[in-house]
């Protein structure tokens, strides 16, 4: 079951991959509804869309969706233990390999590969958490070599982290007209897989600390928009119980991180 709170301001849905991440988020700021969706962008998008639809049907829509969890950091700029907040949520491997190299689906003319959070919220959350900011890459296959890490940083200068769900969450939220954010804490460096160097418990504790610090900003009621200018974004209705019927993955603490 999801871990849910009842904020005084906007209602916030936090989508993680596994329950250990969900519980870390809830421990930091219980006034959000946190749900474990499963690993990967497809599961993340499906659960996010279902949660947003159910909340809207109950007359209690969410005002913000956050993709959160642990992930890989692009060393040396974003070391193990650091927090990262996305300036863009990018599908880094959605496209085609051509004779000239990789072409994403935008270049192929088939849609978007990037969603951008509200810049003012990114700045506020980064300031509260001491986070690094930059693109966070969503991949379906975790990076395991230095060559692949170098390829990703060359294609996405300034990328701060790699994970597996952010773009899926963002795609569902954007289609529903709800703003999205991604927050990651770093358990390992992107590149060659060195299990001995992973710091998953430390990253989960950092995730709790990040949400404890950023929680008030996430659930604060944003300024009212003039009628007809909200672009389909739904602000909170702070009355009544939070939605608690989320579909979740029956997941255990992650054995490895992106």
Question: What are the tens digits of pLDDT across the range 149-192?
Answer: 999 999 999 999 999 999 999 999 999 999 999 999 999 999 99
CA dist list (Å): 34 to 47, 66, 98, 136, 209:
12, 9, 40, 20, 15
Exposed/middle/buried for residue 100 (C-beta within 10 Å: 0-12, 13-18, 19+): exposed
Dump pLDDT digits (tens) for 59-99. 999 999 999 999 999 989 999 999 999 999 999 988 898 88
For 211-235, what is the mean pLDDT? 67
What's the CATH number for 12-219?
3.40.50.1580
Give pLDDT, residue 116.
96
How much is the pLDDT for 234? 32
- pTM, rounded to two decimals: 0.83
Q: What is the mean pLDDT of the chain?
A: 86
Instruction: Break the chain into its structural domains and give their ranges.
Output: 12-219
pLDDT at 129 over 50: yes
End-to-end CA distance of the chain: give it in Å, rounded. 24
Q: Are strands 114-115 and 12-16 parallel, antiparallel or unpaired?
A: unpaired
Residue-wise pLDDT tens digits, 225-246: 554 444 333 332 333 333 333 4
């Amino acid at each position: 079951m999801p871990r849910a709170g009842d904020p005084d301001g906007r209602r916030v849905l936090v989508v993680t991959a596994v329950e250990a991440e969900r519980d870390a988020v809830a421990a930091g700021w219980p006034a959000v509804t946190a749900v474990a969706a499963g690993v990967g962008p497809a599961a993340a998008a499906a659960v996010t869309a279902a949660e947003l639809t159910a909340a809207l049907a109950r007359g209690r829509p969410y005002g913000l969706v956050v993709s959160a969890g642990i992930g890989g950091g692009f060393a040396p700029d974003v070391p193990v233990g650091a927090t990262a907040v996305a300036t863009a949520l990018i599908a880094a491997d959605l496209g085609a390999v051509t004779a000239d190299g990789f072409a994403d689906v935008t270049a192929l003319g088939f849609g978007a590969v990037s969603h951008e959070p509200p810049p003012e919220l990114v700045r506020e959350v980064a300031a509260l958490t001491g986070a690094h900011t930059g693109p966070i890459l969503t991949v379906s296959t975790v990076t395991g070599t230095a060559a692949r890490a170098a390829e990703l940083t060359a294609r996405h200068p300034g990328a701060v982290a790699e994970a597996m769900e952010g773009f899926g969450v963002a795609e569902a939220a954007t289609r529903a007209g709800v703003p999205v954010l991604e927050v990651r804490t770093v358990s390992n460096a992107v590149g060659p897989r060195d299990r001995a160097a992973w710091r998953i418990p430390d990253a989960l504790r950092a995730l709790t600390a990040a949400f404890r610090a950023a929680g008030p900003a996430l659930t604060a009621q944003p300024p009212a928009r003039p009628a007809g200018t909200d672009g389909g974004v739904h602000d909170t209705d702070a009355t009544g119980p939070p939605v608690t019927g989320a579909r979740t993955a029956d997941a255990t603490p992650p054995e490895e991180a992106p």
